[in-house]
Amino acid sequence: MTTFKALLEYDGTRYSGWQDQKNARTVMGEIRKAAKAVFGADIDMQGAGRTDAGVHALGQVMHMKVSAPVRHKPDVLLKRLNDLMPADIVILDLETAPRNFHARHDAKSRVYVYQISTRKQAFMKKYVWWVKEPLDAAAMSRAASMFVGRHDFACFRAQDPSKPHESTIVVVENTGIETEEDIIAFRIEASHFLWRMVRRIAGVLVQAGRGEISEKDVAGLLTGKCDPRLDVAAWTAPASGLFLEHVRY
């Protein structure tokens, strides 16, 4: 058994998410086809984060456990894998790893970034959420800082059928708002995330930037007691602006 650690980037626009799905085109499915052709066998693989349909990655990490004999060095395998994959999926680095390395279980934290555009974009429209109304970036920054710490994110998650009893308590290590010209970028780091949690936080921050909700409203949502006046699910930000930026080990 040979275990590899791979770092990759992808444009998720054309895919139904990261994870293998029947009758759907996924990022992992494309990598699996290329890996099977290169290694001549089915590969045990898993990513550090399961990105949803339309979500992108700048620094996804995955492991590949190969039971068949491996006759080439990682740099040769890297080139062969990339040659067989679509242009919107690229393995940036491939290295051998300890036999028991697990991309998801061994990760200490994940960093996501969400990009909001304050103007219509000709070239970046697949990678941002265009918000037409004026946004107060300072108000968004104050609201974002409230998410740091241990909170109950029940109001920010979509029910994951595969995890019916999942705890809604998450410890957020860092958040931040950065602005550059017409882009407002929201960054968040935590050990794990609930389904659609980041997109719903981004939606709430936009509501704060619009002046539609107060910091008191945000604080109330972080108690896990959802206010029926605040329809967080309806504010879910589009997938296009979300990137898995980095995985820390």
Give the catalytic positions in this structure: 52
Q: What's the CA gap between 91 and 6, in Å, rounded? A: 7
| CA-wise closest residue to 14 among 24, 4, 6, 22 | 24
Number of neighbouring beta carbons within 10 Å of residue 122: 6
Distance (Å) of CA 244 to CA 37, 140, 149, 213: 27, 21, 20, 27
Q: What is the DSSP string of 40-73?
A: SS--EEEESS---TT-EEEEEEEEEEE-S---S-
- DSSP 3-state of 175: strand
φ and ψ at residue 25, rounded to 5 degrees: -90, 120
Q: How many CA atoms lie within 13 A of 140 on its CB side?
A: 24
Q: What's the CA gap between 200 and 129, in Å, rounded? A: 13
Distance (Å) of CA 91 to CA 6, 74, 216: 7, 11, 44
Number of neighbouring beta carbons within 10 Å of residue 201: 28
